Amino acid sequence: MCIFCMIANGEIPSNKIYEDESVIAFLDINPTSYGHTLVIPKEHCDSFLNCPDETRNHVFEVASKLANKLEQTLHCDGINILSNVHEAAGQSVTHFHVHLIPRYKDNDSVTIEFHEIEKPDFEELMNKLK
Ligand code: 5GP
Ligand code: ZN
């Protein structure tokens, strides 16, 4: 069984900070910043892409409440909210989860960098996507 399913059903322990009927949130075991939290649905789905709408919406509702709580309680200066999809994007646990990563101006070891690529043909791209 997947490790986050085991956390969700209590088979392995976690530092849980929130629980309701369909969602739990717990502290990341290898935090990248103080307060790094994971929000997951109790029911297994592999990623953001294949999570039922109602569940995914609720995960984000809880993520939003907890992000506000992290800000108020830990007095962080910012928060990265992200969900990795597939290995190429850094997903190592194939159970949908949202990272809440508090950021601290003066004491921060997180790097999330965007490097520009050559500008694409926006017209062509837009027509593919819309
Ligand atoms: P991903 O790389 O899939 O986006 O993130 C998975 C996260 O889950 C990682 O940040 C990792 O530290 C965390 N993680 C993996 N196994 C466990 C565990 O057993 N307990 C907890 N609390 N976090 C875990
Ligand atoms: Zn699972």
Residue range 51-74, pLDDT digits in tens = 999 999 999 999 999 999 999 999
Residues bordering ligand 2, an ion, CB closer than 5 Å: 2, 4-5, 44, 95
The tally of domains found in the chain comes to 1
Model confidence band, residue 41 (pLDDT cutoffs 50, 70, 90): very high
For residue 1, what pLDDT band results from cuts at 50, 70 and 90? confident
Whole-angstrom Cα distance, residue 28 to residue 15? 8
CATH code of the domain covering residue 50? 3.30.428.10
Task: Inform me whether the pLDDT recorded for 107 exceeds 90.
Answer: no
Ranges assigned E (strand) in 1-130: 16-19, 23-27, 37-41, 78-82, 98-103
The pTM assigned to this predicted structure is 0.97
Catalytic residues, by residue number, are 97
Q: What is the pLDDT of residue 57?
A: 98
Q: Residue 30: which domain range?
A: 3-129
Mutation to probe ligand 1, out of 4, 29, 37, 45 (largest number of atoms < 8 A from CB)? 29
**What is the per-residue pLDDT for 4?**
98
